[in-house]
Amino acid sequence: MAVCATVHTGVVTQENPAGWEVVDGALERTFEFPSFPEAIEFVNRVAAAAEEANHHPDIEIHYRQVKLRWWTHSAQAITDRDRELAERSVDDLPAGRVLLGHDASMHRRADGQTDLVALS
């Protein structure tokens, strides 16, 4: 787990959400989906939650891969709000369909369905 101390409203937080890495001052995670439409559905769910919270991630889309980067532009740092919304982004994934790891690849289950893969 990546650790990065930041200050947000006077509170220092050190733990970042599981599966997220600190890259160039932002919480970053790449997700790979079985299809382009599923990747876009995920982006739309993240966008709706971000709009509701009035706190927006940087989003990159490359066919079936989606990269999210959470950081607070005004603070020029990762804040507790970024951590919370990063966790909520993952909470929005279909239950039981996430595999984690640098070298993860698409995984076909015994029932023939393809698992969603989260690349750290």
- Most distant CA pair in the chain, distance: 50
| 81 φ/ψ angles, rounded to the nearest 5 degrees | -65, -40
Domain boundaries, the chain: 3-119
pLDDT along the chain (120 residues), means of 10: 42 73 95 92 94 96 95 94 93 57 47 53
Please tell me the distance from the alpha carbon of residue 97 to that of residue 95, in angstroms, as a whole number: 6
Residue-wise over 8-26: b if at least 16 C-beta within 10 A, else e? beeeebeebbebbeeeeeb
Name the H helices within 54-102: 80-91
Instruction: Please give the pLDDT value at position 102.
Output: 39
The class that CATH gives domain 3-119 is: alpha beta
Instruction: Please give the pLDDT value at position 44.
Output: 95
Residue 66 tokens read as 């989606």
Q: Is the pTM above the cut of 0.85? A: no
| Amino acid symbol at 104 | A
Instruction: Please give the pLDDT value at position 16.
Output: 87
